[in-house]
């Protein structure tokens, strides 16, 4: 069972490596943010799998900290990223 969990963790790390392509290519900041969320979510999954496979409960605590950090980063991105410039037309509206 431990071998299976380690193999699944390795698969998730490979998934993160493929996500690096999205970070590098963009095209928008939102795409990059979603890729960063992929890293956080996958990192938590890998830590939980390794905690079970290696019988290391302290990895669960680290996974919880990563989860809390991911929430803070998401909120900060939304607060900073989607502030509309005054006078800028909304989607679907034509400029004046």
pLDDT in tens, 44-83: 999 999 999 989 999 999 999 999 988 888 888 777 766 5
Residue 60 burial class via C-beta count within 10 angstroms: exposed 0-12, middle 13-18, buried 19 and up: middle
Q: Is the pLDDT of residue 87 over 80?
A: no
Given a contact cutoff of 8 angstroms between Cβ atoms, the answer to whether 62 and 56 are in contact is: no
pTM: 0.69
Alpha-carbon torsion (81, 84, 90, 96), positive or negative: negative
DSSP state of 26: -
69's CB contacts (< 8 A; 6+ apart) are: 40
């Amino acid at each position: 069972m431990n071998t299976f969990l380690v193999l699944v963790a390795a698969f998730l790390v490979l998934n993160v490596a493929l996500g690096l392509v999205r970070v590098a290519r963009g095209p928008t900041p939102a795409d990059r943010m979603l890729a960063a969320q992929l890293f956080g979510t996958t990192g938590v999954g890998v830590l939980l799998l390794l905690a079970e496979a290696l019988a290391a409960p302290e990895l669960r605590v680290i996974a919880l900290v990563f989860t809390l950090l991911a929430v803070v980063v998401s909120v900060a991105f939304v607060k900073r990223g989607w502030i509309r410039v005054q006078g800028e037309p909304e989607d679907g509206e034509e400029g004046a």
